[in-house]
Structure 1
C-alpha cells in the first residue's frame, strides 16, 4: 500500500533529484539519506536539500509509490557502497596488517586489514570491517558464515 505524500520527486535534465514540496517550492539536488542504513535499511529515510535541511521524511521505503521508490533506491544504490562479506576465503597472516581474500555480494576481492580495531561490532552480531582505504565491508551475521570463515574471523576477534 502506497503512502500519501504531499510532495513530488523527479529527475532533472542532469539526472539529479528534484523535490517539489506541498507549497510548490522546487528544491534541486535532493539527496536521500537512510536513518539506519545497516540496522533498518527499509525504515526511516530523509530527503535532504543540498544545504543539508530535511525536506521530507519517509517512514518506510516500501510505502512510497513505485516510481518514487525506484528513483530513491537508484539514488541510494549509486551513493552507498558497502559490500557484504559472504565468505572468508583466506588471510595472509593472523597478525596485522594482513591481506584478506573474501567473497562478497559483489564478487571476490582482497583488502588489507590494518588492525583488529578496524573490525567494529554493531547492533546484534552485525560487524563492519574497514579496509586500509576506508571501504566498509559488512558481515550481517557471523554465525551464518561457513565454518572455515568463522574460524578465520574468530582469530581476529
Structure 2
C-alpha cells in the first residue's frame, strides 16, 4: 500500500477497535485489524522510520518520520510502541556481585534502580556510537546509550566484562 499522497502526508487512518487493538484503513478503504507499529532502528534511530505491519507481519505502511502523521495518529502509534517496547536505559552501574558470570548487577536506569542477572559476557553487545545492549537472564534488554557518558566507576565495571 502506498504511504504518501502527493502532498507528502501518509494516506491512511488509524483507530482502536472495541478490543483496544489498532486498525489501519488504507487509501483504498481496506481495513486491517490488529496492526503493529515497528521501529526500523529502535536504538540507533528511534525517531527515524517505522513500519505498520499486519498481524501476519506484512508491511502495510512505511512512515519516514512520525512528524509526517497527524497528532491523533501519532499519539496512537506512540502509545502502542510504549506498550511494546521496554528497554530501560542504564545511567549508572551501582555494583556487581562478582566479576565472573553469572553475576547480579545493580543498576540505575531510566525506570529506577533494579537488579538483574547477567548470564555471560556474550549477553553484552556493542552497538555503533559507543552504545551497548545488555540482555539479562530473562531476555530483558538494557541500553547504555553512550558508554563514554557513564561515570568512572560504571565504566571500570564494564571494562572487566568487555
TM-score, normalising length: structure 2: 0.93
**CA contact under 8 A between 2:10 and 2:68: conserved in structure 1?**
no
**CA contact under 8 A between 1:96 and 1:116: conserved in structure 2?**
yes
| Residue correspondence of structure 1 range 39-78 to structure 2 within 5 A | 39-78=44-83
Q: 2:87 aligns with which of 74, 82, 105?
A: 82
Q: CA RMSD in A?
A: 1.2
| Residue correspondence of structure 1 range 4-153 to structure 2 within 5 A | 4-153=9-158
**CA contact under 8 A between 1:126 and 1:142: conserved in structure 2?**
yes
For 2:140 and 2:152, the matched residues in 1 are separated by 25
Deviations 1:56-98 (A, max 9, x none): 1000112221111110000000001111101100001111111
For 2:111 and 2:8, the matched residues in 1 are separated by 32
Q: How many residue pairs are counted as aligned between the two chains? A: 156
SS at match of 2:52: strand
Task: Give 5+ residue unaligned stretches, structure 2.
Answer: 1-6
Task: Give 5+ residue unaligned stretches, structure 1.
Answer: none
Relative to structure 1, the CA distance from residue 125 to residue 135 in structure 2 (aligned partners, 3 Å threshold; closer, same or farther) is same
Structure 1 segments of 4 or more deviating over 6 A?
none
SS at match of 2:11: coil
For 2:71 and 2:63, the matched residues in 1 are separated by 14
For 2:68 and 2:151, the matched residues in 1 are separated by 35
SS at match of 1:150: helix
Deviations 1:136-157 (A, max 9, x none): 1100101101111111111111
